[in-house]
A = this chain, B = another copy of it.
Amino acid sequence: MQNQAIVIGVIGPGELAKKEDCCLAFEVGKTIASANYMVLTGGRNCGVMEAALKGAKTAGGKTIGILPGDDTTEMSEYTDIPIITGMGNARNIINILSSRVVVAIGDGPGTISEIALALKTKKPVIVLNSTEEADTMFSRHSKKAFIKMEQFEKKEFMESLNKLILET
């Protein structure tokens, strides 16, 4: 009867996301959903969050949004299951703890904060489109897998992801 979902978190900038971050997030979301994993994001209607959710829905997947607000005002329409926290940035830790593996796309203070929490709580992380400094810094603090991909290649991504899932 059991059927626990495998939940993969996708994190990245919201309003300040670059176009290439969003394109990447869409592909990542689509790829994760194609493998029958659920995509979890911060749930807002912008940036990497919305793009990853949209990608997942395109592939027929199911999506979770962990919303900072106390209602669905800012929710992406591609969220199937809204988890409404009403606790602003304090909800970041929920994104991390609820994800089997965390995929980080792009560069911004919220994203850095979440990657750091992932390392602190020993979650495996795959990083795409980040910066040299962030990668150097985070590699030093990782006790679990911290994988930097120079560019997104579907097959390589899925191999890394599946390996990390098996190890956790």
Listed in ascending order, the chain A residues whose CB lies under 8 Å from chain B are 1-5, 7, 38, 57-58, 64, 66, 70-71, 77-91, 93-94, 97-98, 108-110, 112-114, 116-117, 119-121, 131-134, 136-137, 140-141
Contact = CB atoms under 8 A, between A and B. Distances in A.
A33 to B, nearest CB: 12
A60 to B, nearest CB: 9
A87 B71 CA distance: 13
A98 B94 CA distance: 14
Contacts of A132: 133
Contacts of A85: 90, 93-94, 97
7 contacts: A38-B81, A83-B94, A85-B93, A85-B97, A86-B87, A89-B117, A113-B113
Contact of A90 (B58, B87, B120, B134): B87
A90 B86 contact: yes
Nearest to A91: B90
B81 A81 contact: yes
A79 B4 contact: yes
A96 to B, nearest CB: 9
Contact of A93 (B81, B88, B94): B88
